[in-house]
């Protein structure tokens, strides 16, 4: 980590990240760089309910505050209440990680004297330290996040991700081990679905993967509560006991602990991919309409399947005339070959 000029005392730093699970995890190098530049600083992360547990597992975050923008804090009055809570903390510096206007407005309403963020969506109107929102080519999102620190003269070469599951996660996982017959270590995890259907593996491909491994080693299907029904479909197609379906069964900290002990995670581009990277779990990721250069795993033993169609990455923003062949073309046989090379 290197610290340049134009810094700030930063006794109390607020990092505002109101995005998704992966975004909060990929912000780890940015928070680490702040902590290394200002080791005496108390760093608080303001995040949404979905990602609060993830932020709490970041070893460089001292405190987590929650902004429930879709619940009790919704609307202009909710925004004002959160701003008053922040103002009472007397932060010296706010770092707004997202392009959205909301974080910049919050930092201004809270009266934080030094407000750092991007010049996107008119956010610059509320900031006095402004980073460019223009990206320098296609780079991994960890590097993109670090751009926000340029006005402070802070940079780092360490872009590794770190999550530390708390003791309560290990205790909770111990209970789940008994219920779901999860071994102590060495099992496989498959996450075939995410929050966007266009990035999902076909049911038949997921079932083929499970069918191949279920007689050879323990394998578990993971995902959120919304994916549970489809995960059970995969289990039935593959002859896997429903007890091996963990969709919605684990909290995010428990999932981190679970993946830390796994031999490998096979996944599409979704939150558990980044959780696995944070706990050092080998990852085989299947990409279709999104770009692995931006969101993919980067460990020495990790692997990525990416068809590289001329229309990909499209980010799934328009109707696909190829029925998302970019994701469905990844065959179970190819995935099996890569996974078994490293386990």
Q: pLDDT of the chain along its 343 residues, tens only?
A: 333 334 445 489 999 999 999 999 999 999 999 999 999 999 999 999 999 999 999 999 999 999 999 999 999 999 999 999 999 999 999 999 998 899 999 999 999 999 999 988 778 889 999 998 888 789 999 999 999 999 999 989 899 999 999 999 999 999 999 999 999 999 999 999 988 888 999 999 999 999 999 988 999 999 999 999 999 999 999 999 999 999 999 999 999 999 999 999 999 999 999 999 999 999 999 998 999 999 999 999 999 988 888 888 886 666 777 777 888 878 899 889 888 887 6
Residues with Cβ < 8 Å from 3, sequence gap 6 or more?
Answer: 36, 37, 153, 154
**pTM: predicted TM-score of the whole model, two decimal places:** 0.93
* pLDDT at residue number 316: 66
* pLDDT at residue number 325: 84
* pLDDT at residue number 330: 81
* pLDDT at residue number 208: 96
Q: Which residue has the tokens 């206007």?
A: 101
Distance CA 116, CA 289 (A): 32
**148, 118 Cβ separation under 8 angstroms:** yes
Q: List domains and CATH numbers for the chain.
A: 2-155 (3.40.50.2000), 168-341 (3.40.50.2000)
**38, 14 Cβ separation under 8 angstroms:** no
* pLDDT at residue number 251: 97
* pLDDT at residue number 7: 45
**110, 124 Cβ separation under 8 angstroms:** no
Residue 63: is it exposed, middle or buried by C-beta count within 10 angstroms (0-12/13-18/19+)?
middle
């Amino acid at each position: 980590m290197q610290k340049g000029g134009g810094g700030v005392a930063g006794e109390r730093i607020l990092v505002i990240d109101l995005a998704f699970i992966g975004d909060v995890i990929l912000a780890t190098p940015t928070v680490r760089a702040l902590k290394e530049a200002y080791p005496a600083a108390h760093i608080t992360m303001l995040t949404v309910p979905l990602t609060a547990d993830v932020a709490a597992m970041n070893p460089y975050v001292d405190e987590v505050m929650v902004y429930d923008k879709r619940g009790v804090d919704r609307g202009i009055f909710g925004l004002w209440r959160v701003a008053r809570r922040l103002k009472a903390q007397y932060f010296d510096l706010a770092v707004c990680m997202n392009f959205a206007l909301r974080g910049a407005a919050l930092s201004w309403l809270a009266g934080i004297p030094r407000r750092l963020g991007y010049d996107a969506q008119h956010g610059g109107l509320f900031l006095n330290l402004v980073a460019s929102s223009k990206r320098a080519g296609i780079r991994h999102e960890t590097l993109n996040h670090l751009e926000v620190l340029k006005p402070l003269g802070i940079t780092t070469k360490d872009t590794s991700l770190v999550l530390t599951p708390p003791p309560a996660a290990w205790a909770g996982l111990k209970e789940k081990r008994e219920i779901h017959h999860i071994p102590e270590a060495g099992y496989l995890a498959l996450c075939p679905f995410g929050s966007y259907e266009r990035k999902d593996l076909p049911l038949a491909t997921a079932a083929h993967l499970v069918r191949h491994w279920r007689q050879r080693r323990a394998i578990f299907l993971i995902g959120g509560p919304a994916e549970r029904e489809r995960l059970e479909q995969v289990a039935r197609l593959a002859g896997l006991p429903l007890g091996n379906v963990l969709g919605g069964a684990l909290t995010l900290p428990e999932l981190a602990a679970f993946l830390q002990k796994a031999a490998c995670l096979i996944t599409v581009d979704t939150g558990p991919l980044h959780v696995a990277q944070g706990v050092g779990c080998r990852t085989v990721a299947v990409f279709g309409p999104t770009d692995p250069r931006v969101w993919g795993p980067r460990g020495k033993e990790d692997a990525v399947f990416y068809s590289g169609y001329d229309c990909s990455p499209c980010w799934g923003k328009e109707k696909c005339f190829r029925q998302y062949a970019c994701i469905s073309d990844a065959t179970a046989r190819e995935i099996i070959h890569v996974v078994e090379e490293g386990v």
